[in-house]
Amino acid sequence: MSNLLFSNRIIKPKKYSYDSWWNSPVQSIGNNWNSSSGPVTHGMYVKDFYYRLHSILTSNGYTITNEKEFKNEIATLIYNLSDDHL
């Protein structure tokens, strides 16, 4: 099986650095996300997403060989796909 490479990815320029984004609250058009402890930050969202995905994968028999790299890939993917121009 060959690896698929996509060279036509479009990544919008970011207004915020990764660290600023990580600590900023998640927003959607006209709506902020809140939890019982206050606004949900992107960091909180990424951690929750990671643990849910990890649980799904391990419960289906998959093994993650490099957890640190997997976490970084998940966080980078969500950061690159997020829209900080709301």
pLDDT at 30 over 70: no
Residue with tokens 């028999």: 61
- At residue 10 the predicted structure's pLDDT band, cuts being 50, 70 and 90, is low
Contact 18, 82 (CB under 8 A): no
Tell whether the model's pLDDT for residue 66 goes beyond 60.
yes
> pLDDT category, 67, cuts 50, 70, 90?
very high
Cα angle 46-9-1, degrees, rounded to a multiple of 5: 90
Report which of residues 2 and 52 the model is more confident about. Answer: 52
Of the pLDDT bands very low, low, confident and very high (cuts 50, 70, 90), residue 15 is confident
Task: Report yes or no on whether pTM surpasses 0.85.
Answer: no
In the predicted structure, residue 1 carries a pLDDT above the cut 80: no
- Of 79, 2, 85, the closest CA to residue 42 belongs to 79
Among the listed residues 7, 3, 11, 5, the one whose alpha carbon sits nearest the alpha carbon of residue 83:
11
pLDDT of 47 above 90: yes
Supply 1's token pair.
Answer: 């099986």
